[in-house]
Amino acid sequence: MFFVFPGKSGITFFILPVFLFITSFAFAQERKDSIRKNVLDEVVVTARSYKEVIPAQQLSGEKLEALSSFSVADAIRYFSGVQIKDYGGIGGLKTVDIRSMGTNHLGVFYDGIEIGNAQNGTVDLGRFSLDFIEEISLYNGQKSEIFQSAKDFGSAGTVYLRTRRPKFAGNKKTNFVSYFRTGSFDLVNPSVLWEQKINKNISSNLNAEYVYSSGKYKYRHTRYNSDGSIANDTTAIRENGDIHSLRLEGGFNGYLEQGSWNIKGYFYNSEKGLPGAIVGNVWYNPQRQWDRNAFVQGNFQKQLFKNYDFLVNAKYSNDWMRYFNLDTIAWDDAGCRADKTLWVDNRFSQQEFYISTSNKYSILPAWDMNLSVDYIWNTLDANLEDFVYPTRNTLLAVLATAFEWRQLKGQASFSGTFIFDNVKKQDAYQPDDKQEFTPAVFLSYKPLKRQNLNFRAFYKRIFRMPTFNDLYYTHIGNINLRPEFTTQYNLGFQYDKQLKKGIINYLNFRADAYYNEVIDKIVATPKGGSGGGSLYRWEMMNLGYVEIRGIDVSAQIAWNFPADIQINTSLNYTFQKAQDFTDKNSKWYGGQINYIPWHSGSAIAYAQWRTWDLNYSFIYVGERYHNPANTRENYSPPWYTHDMTLGKTFKFKKSPFGEDPGRLKISAEINNMLNQVYEVITCYPMPGRNYKLILKMEI
């Protein structure tokens, strides 16, 4: 199979080994001890039993459902090493930063395929509901499995969102689940899920969700002078934070002999207000945003021979966004404020086509090799003046290996990335083609055969390309930007034990120490004429060099008490020292980078007693600075929240769709119980104490 990439030097041909597996047929060998069989309703699925080198942090099942979390971003807050940027409210932008390396270094995968955004590289996790999510996993470095797409190897950290796959009890052929949420901020949030068993090998599902909220909540806005005296202390109501959104998704799942397949469609449409920052005594901002995201994706996996597995992923996505601002300050060519205002109505449309193949061959029962090749096509259209209409062709190729030798497990990979950008504007500068090669090594050692004690280490070098906005946004983009490189080093251990006697049923403890470097960090800096830089006109530059040192510690304990009381507890703690060493002459040289706390942590306690469940969660974020200059006026105080959920489950005698009894669950949530005043992002006040009532019916 051939792909053609137009470049400045002519036509460049690359041969994708999509069908190279044909040549490996002659080398297939029988392997008796590397196959694991799972029987599901007379369908046999076979796959290699992988053992993780670097275990993931996970939330799934009832624990995930019990959290006082409205979206995926809310749930990820409970992982160690994670910082959430939350701009407030139900519809506010929510992004994730892992180990201080930046949001763009985190890959987000939805049922095994990455959610892309070539325009700005940011995935808003606030638009993914938890109703349809079965498990959330967070990996540092990468997922500990080599049989995956090349994109899976291409991020400094990854979040995997696995949606619910239909399961049917007995002779049941239909599952129906519905939620209804209401509460503070005039929230109205119904959702339904329909799962249908078509035959013993194929099932389908359809999920729909609607969200409305006025986004109005009281907040307290306090600012201090440099001497510590109060400059402003006001109580107001947050305005223009409303949201109307509709999400539809569904698909088909199938099992094959020694394989599986699925296809999924997704559609999201929303209109929301952007309440903006509270600065300069401006309490209302008129900005609005419309989003429309749609994609179709699928994968096919099959063990063609006992030594050979084949995987193909494909996706097409179309994203449209409109940003409207009726009150924007105008600036002249010298960077000075003009005596007029202007309105902004920017519209962006981006498309992506993605295809990937993975080919795993087992050389020995404990030694595998994998070759993955991905091709991605991205394009961006906008109504901006002098826009260059960029197109990006990306080829990714990864050769990876995994082995086990006695108590030692290891994985290694070598990635090649080839990027070809073109712009349609005739008088625009054509960007250079880029190619980069990055390695990764992961090791795990178990010193004691009878104890589940594992020591682990990894090294990974990765980079991220500048986004379309970084390179081509009118009057802001910089065509000469270099890729941003990240180097990661990690040492850690994990101990877990299953206990048969006593009140403690399970114990898990893990700790990691890490050191990261970010080189050629892409930053935005103000620019303007001789009158000084304006805060409206910016340019993108490679300026940053950041060193990050940190420790992640977590513990999980499962308790069994008399009278059928079960309690699961989880504690997470993170220490980070993320220093900016960009400019030795600057006053913030060596200071903590903005919005990274030195200390943060979380605690969860989930209790079950018969048909009752109670969940308590606590989040703490320590002191930090909202500017690289670590001065008093840039100081952000610590904040914390206490949340609690109480639920009661009622069972029907019989479901209308089968013998399995139906269930009705009523839950009540109280969030920020102590009504703490806090801001995740400076000048974006978060809600105080708020409530939610949830009804869930499952038949």
> Using H for helix, E for strand and C for coil, what is the string for 143-210?
CCCCCCCHHHHCCCEEEEEEECCCCCCCCCCEEEEEEEEEEHHHEEEEEEEEEEECCCCEEEEEEEEE
Looking at the predicted structure, is the pLDDT value of residue 2 above 90?
no
Looking at the predicted structure, is the pLDDT value of residue 27 above 80?
no
- Strand residue runs (E) in 406-452: 408-423, 434-445
Mean pLDDT computed over 317-344: 67
Supply the pLDDT for residue 459: 97
**CA 268/CA 247 separation, integer angstroms:** 4
Alpha-carbon radius of gyration of the chain: 26
In this structure, the strands spanning 157-163 and 106-110 are: parallel
β-bridge mates for residue 222, sequence order = 233
Three-class SS state of 384: coil
Q: Collect all residues with Cβ–Cβ distance below 8 Å to 399 and sequence separation of at least 6.
A: 369, 370, 371, 413, 414
Q: Could you tell me which of 550, 557, 476, 447 has the C-alpha nearest to residue 83?
A: 550
List, for residues 652-680, the tens digit of each pLDDT value: 877 777 667 789 999 999 999 999 999 88
The single residue listed with the structure tokens 């180990």 is: 99
**CA 343/CA 634 separation, integer angstroms:** 31
Q: Could you tell me which of 129, 124, 74, 133 has the C-alpha nearest to residue 103?
A: 124
Three-class SS state of 511: strand
Helix (H) or strand (E) holding 72: helix 72-76
Supply the pLDDT for residue 30: 34
Helix (H) or strand (E) holding 519: strand 504-527
Three-class SS state of 456: strand
Looking at the predicted structure, is the pLDDT value of residue 46 above 60?
no
The encoded tokens of residue 340 equal: 């007029």
**CA 111/CA 298 separation, integer angstroms:** 9
Give the confidence band of 317 by pLDDT, cuts at 50, 70, 90.
Answer: very high
550 close to 513: Cβ distance less than 8 angstroms: yes
Looking at the predicted structure, is the pLDDT value of residue 21 above 70?
no
> Using H for helix, E for strand and C for coil, what is the string for 612-671?
EEEEEEEEEECCEECCCCCCHHHEECCEEEEEEEEEEEEECCCECCECCCCEEEEEEEEE
Return the sign of the alpha-carbon dihedral for residues 465, 469, 472, 475. Answer: negative
Where is average pLDDT lowest: 60-74, 334-348, 427-441, 555-569? 334-348
Among 95-99, 128-132, 236-240, 291-295, the range with the most confident prediction by mean pLDDT is 291-295
Looking at the predicted structure, is the pLDDT value of residue 22 above 50?
no
Supply the pLDDT for residue 48: 41
The encoded tokens of residue 65 equal: 């459902």
Three-class SS state of 468: helix
**CA 691/CA 689 separation, integer angstroms:** 7
Looking at the predicted structure, is the pLDDT value of residue 470 above 50?
yes
**CA 214/CA 246 separation, integer angstroms:** 15
Looking at the predicted structure, is the pLDDT value of residue 588 above 90?
no
**CA 282/CA 276 separation, integer angstroms:** 9
Supply the pLDDT for residue 505: 92
71 close to 93: Cβ distance less than 8 angstroms: no
Give the confidence band of 274 by pLDDT, cuts at 50, 70, 90.
Answer: confident
Give the residue with greater pLDDT, 574 vs 384. 574
Supply the pLDDT for residue 228: 66
Computed over every residue of the chain, the mean pLDDT equals 83
Give the confidence band of 18 by pLDDT, cuts at 50, 70, 90.
Answer: very low
Supply the pLDDT for residue 229: 72
Terminus-to-terminus CA distance in the chain, angstroms?
Answer: 48
Looking at the predicted structure, is the pLDDT value of residue 623 above 60?
yes
Looking at the predicted structure, is the pLDDT value of residue 145 above 50?
yes
The single residue listed with the structure tokens 């599952």 is: 175
> Using H for helix, E for strand and C for coil, what is the string for 270-325?
EEEECCCCCECCECCCCCEEEEEEEEEEEEEEEEEECCEEEEEEEEEEEEEEEEEE
Return the percentage of the chain with pLDDT > 70, whole number: 85
Supply the pLDDT for residue 127: 81
C-alpha separations of 499 from 31, 133, 502, 507 in Å: 34, 30, 8, 8
Supply the pLDDT for residue 334: 44
210 close to 246: Cβ distance less than 8 angstroms: yes
Mean pLDDT computed over 50-61: 79
Mean pLDDT computed over 131-143: 89
Where is average pLDDT lowest: 61-75, 383-397, 563-577? 61-75
- Alpha carbon dihedral 643, 645, 646, 652, in 10-degree steps, equals 180
Mean pLDDT computed over 404-431: 88
The encoded tokens of residue 343 equal: 């309105």
Looking at the predicted structure, is the pLDDT value of residue 148 above 70?
yes
Looking at the predicted structure, is the pLDDT value of residue 11 above 60?
no
The single residue listed with the structure tokens 């020591």 is: 455
Supply the pLDDT for residue 328: 56
- Our measurement of the distance from residue 160's CA atom to the centroid of its chain's CA atoms, rounded to an integer in Å, reads 7
Q: Could you tell me which of 691, 681, 671, 690 has the C-alpha nearest to residue 274?
A: 681
The encoded tokens of residue 222 equal: 């306090």
**CA 216/CA 238 separation, integer angstroms:** 5
β-bridge mates for residue 57, sequence order = 138
571 close to 554: Cβ distance less than 8 angstroms: yes
The single residue listed with the structure tokens 């087992």 is: 362
Where is average pLDDT lowest: 62-66, 216-220, 263-267, 537-541? 537-541
**CA 171/CA 528 separation, integer angstroms:** 70
317 close to 295: Cβ distance less than 8 angstroms: yes
Amino acid residing at 588:
W
Supply the pLDDT for residue 226: 65
Among 350-359, 555-564, 654-663, the range with the most confident prediction by mean pLDDT is 350-359
List, for residues 201-246, the tens digit of each pLDDT value: 999 999 999 999 999 998 887 776 666 677 677 888 898 889 999 9
